[in-house]
Structure 1
Amino acid sequence: MADLATSGDDERVKAIPAWRRALIRPELGGMCGTVIVFVFFLLTAFDSGMFAPQGIMNWTVVSAQFMIIAVGACLLMIAGEFDLSVGSMIGFAGMMVAVFGVVLGWPMWIAILITFALCISIGALNGWIVIRTGLPSFIVTLAFLFILRGFTIYIPQTIESKTIIGGIRDAAEGDWLAPIFGGKIGGGIFQWLADAGLIDTFTRGNRAGQAVIDGVPMLVVWALILIIFGHVLLTRTKFGNWIFAAGGDAEAARNSGVPVSQVKILMFMFTAFCATVFAVCQVMEFGSAGADRGLLKEFEAIIAVVIGGALLTGGYGSVIGAALGALIFGVVQQGLFFAGVESSLFRVFLGVILLGAVVLNTYIRRMITGER
């Protein structure tokens, strides 16, 4: 008697076609978008220097900025929540580093650590309010968007009568922690490549003979670390399964013993951590903190995650996909400049690609759930 447990012999079990299995991979949209974007700019901006070593470094740094906040937003969205305060958190965190380290004169490492503790606590508060009140995270974090932005403007105006505080590089001179966010690595490798004639060097001034690329900024290193951490956490750990469960069906997850409330609060904290990493790297690079930093970054992070295949309803997504979405952002933003296209069209691109990604993700969700 044939074994009916074998799917090949049981006509009730339908094999999923390979093309359909590929379609339901969350990274698919990000992969396709990345290929299309690179092909487009290879054809239109290849001779502009976009793919020269310095051009590659430019769009890599911009992409890394998006990647850092996209990783936090991705895990939080998979857990079924949103954080619209990310952009304001970036501005607030940068301003706190400046206030603590420059205005109050504290050692920069203390200023950085206290800023991280403060911002992560605010992230925990966001999560706690969402869990305790049952309010949509959209509303709670929208409120904190305005609260944090208001404090970011009020505090420096009250203390210094201005909304930009400089002197961060001088205050960070000789500090042991600041280079972890504002330093560069691999300078010797790039100089070796320059000496070998593989990359350009400066031809004038005090830096004549030095490589035009003097290292990989720590911003890029942080982006890679967070992507690897987020991917491993999501795909290789029990906690990653809890994140999917919390966003897919919170009530069923609770009945199965998943600590849904703790998972969601931790994801809010991690999102705040990523925003603070971005902020500290930014102020170390610019040497100043401004009250307008981080504007619209929350929406850019969400768009990158959606492009990467995450569903707005939660329970489905990929950190790698979110990273690819962020890469698309960085390449397009810099590519428009290299191609000589009006930079304002970048916002048009964001709107178009967001709409396309949502339509694609909705189709995928219906395939997964069997809805029509």
Structure 2
Amino acid sequence: MGVANLFHANPRKHPPTDPQDPSNANATSAAPAGATDERVRKESWFRHLLNRPEFAALAGTVMVFLVFGLSAGNSGMFNLDGVMNWSQVAAYLGLISVGACLLMIAGEFDLSIGSMIGFSGMMVALPTMYFHWPIALAILFAFVGSMLLGALNGYLVMRTRLPSFIVTLAFLFILRGLTLALSVMFADRTIISGVGDVARQDWFAHTFFQGVAFKGFFLWLGHIGLVKMLDTGVPLVPGIPKVLLWWLALAIVCAFVLARTRFGNWIFAVGGDANAAKNVGVPVRRVKISLFVLTAFCACLYSVLQVCDIGSAAADRGLQAEFEAIIAAVIGGTLLTGGYGSVVGASFGALIFGVVQIGITYTNIDSDWFRVFLGVMLLFAVLFNHYVRSRVSASR
């Protein structure tokens, strides 16, 4: 994509022609009415769709839904409660895949995302349960601390010019080790429980990070017979999990920024050719550090929602989540080399992940095949993205 994305190029404007000018008359007569300029290459809608980064993820999503619709359609997977189960798994992964996608488009990786999830969970649980902080203050502390660590990651990458793979791999071990050490030091165990009860009594935590939304609407749906009611008078599906709303909001905002703003153009330019982007005035350092901060924010948001919902923090939370986020981004059309990708595609990649992980339990297939499927999807996505990139390069 390169520096060409810095500005939205407009068609070249030619000066108005004078109809009384003989040269213009000759040019006009030479070109018959309705003739097309051979210099303008027209592209069919299918080829245009094929060149979109999210096409492979969209096609994969359709395929996955067809497969599970045929194999598990009668098992309740596509009932309202089943939909909420796999969409919630997709939403958690979607949160971190959005941040990972933008960072990868800018040409960098963050392998500390998974460890950041576990560490930020402890930053919420330990002050709340052992230092008796208000949980709202602990949540704010976790967000600030995580984003500062993200900024440190980005600063070290830009300052030392070391590969982000190496720097964030170091933080993967540092944060995972700190999470284990601090949990054992203060709690004498690796799981800290009771956070959910505290969050339930706090307006801020309960309103924004815990439970479901639109309870009254779903209760009304239950009363009119559209949602199954339990014997206790509560709908089987009491509402929409708040992680779904956070995922939707984050994906919309980031997709808009990437596609419609100057900062989004900067992201593409930095990932395409950082030196060329710097030469034309793009603040490369600021862009990349900002995206490292974003990935840390996404990891912390994942953790806060999970801690408030599950009610506990554990030192092994987020294990291998960084690789799952990268897989979702690559399935969504993001190139490992940077400069090309889509937030919408990464969201579809996360949706595929959630549907397969939960859908496989509705079939007779052994759940061990889940990782095999992810590997096949990753390989297919990489090959397809390579094919699309070769086509785009050849057509220039």
**Would the TM-score normalized by the shorter structure come out above 0.5?**
yes
* AA at the equivalent of 1:367: R
User: Which structure 1 residue ranges, 5 or more long, are not aligned?
Assistant: none
The equivalent residue for 1:291 is: 315
Structure 2 residue 359 is the aligned partner of structure 1 residue 335? yes
Structure 2 residue 394 is the aligned partner of structure 1 residue 370? yes
1:177 CA drift (Å)? 1.9
The equivalent residue for 1:91 is: 118
* AA at the equivalent of 2:59: C
The equivalent residue for 1:305 is: 329
Please give the alpha-carbon distance, in whole angstroms, between the structure 2 residues aligned to 1:146 and 1:139. Answer: 11
Structure-2-length-normalised TM-score:
0.90
Structure 2 residue 223 is the aligned partner of structure 1 residue 195? yes
Secondary structure, in 3 states, of the residue corresponding to 2:140? helix
1:12 CA drift (Å)? 4.5
> Over aligned residues, Cα RMSD in angstroms?
1.9
1:20 CA drift (Å)? 2.4
CA displacement, residues 310-359 of structure 1 (integer Å, 9 cap, x when unaligned): 11111111111100010011011111011132111111111111011001
Question: 1:26-175 to 2 correspondence within 5 Å?
Answer: 26-175=53-202
Q: 2:212 aligns with which of 184, 202, 222?
A: 184
Identity percentage of aligned residues: 55
Q: Name the CA shift for 1:138/1:31 in 2 (closer, same or farther; >3 Å).
A: same
Secondary structure, in 3 states, of the residue corresponding to 1:363? helix
The equivalent residue for 1:322 is: 346
1:170 CA drift (Å)? 2.5
1:9 CA drift (Å)? 4.8
The equivalent residue for 1:354 is: 378
CA displacement, residues 24-48 of structure 1 (integer Å, 9 cap, x when unaligned): 1011011101110111111110110
Secondary structure, in 3 states, of the residue corresponding to 1:198? coil
The equivalent residue for 2:279 is: 255
Query: Is the CA contact 1:97–1:112 (under 8 Å) kept in the aligned structure 2?
Result: yes
> Alignment length, in residue pairs?
368
Secondary structure, in 3 states, of the residue corresponding to 1:210? coil
* AA at the equivalent of 1:129: L
Please give the alpha-carbon distance, in whole angstroms, between the structure 2 residues aligned to 1:74 and 1:300. Answer: 12
Please give the alpha-carbon distance, in whole angstroms, between the structure 1 residues aligned to 2:227 and 2:204. Answer: 31
Please give the alpha-carbon distance, in whole angstroms, between the structure 2 residues aligned to 1:209 and 1:18. Answer: 51
* AA at the equivalent of 1:188: G
Secondary structure, in 3 states, of the residue corresponding to 1:47? coil
Please give the alpha-carbon distance, in whole angstroms, between the structure 2 residues aligned to 1:2 and 1:265. Answer: 54
Query: Is the CA contact 1:89–1:276 (under 8 Å) kept in the aligned structure 2?
Result: yes
1:11 CA drift (Å)? 3.7
User: Which structure 2 residue ranges, 5 or more long, are not aligned?
Assistant: 1-25
Structure-1-length-normalised TM-score:
0.95
Query: Is the CA contact 1:194–1:201 (under 8 Å) kept in the aligned structure 2?
Result: yes
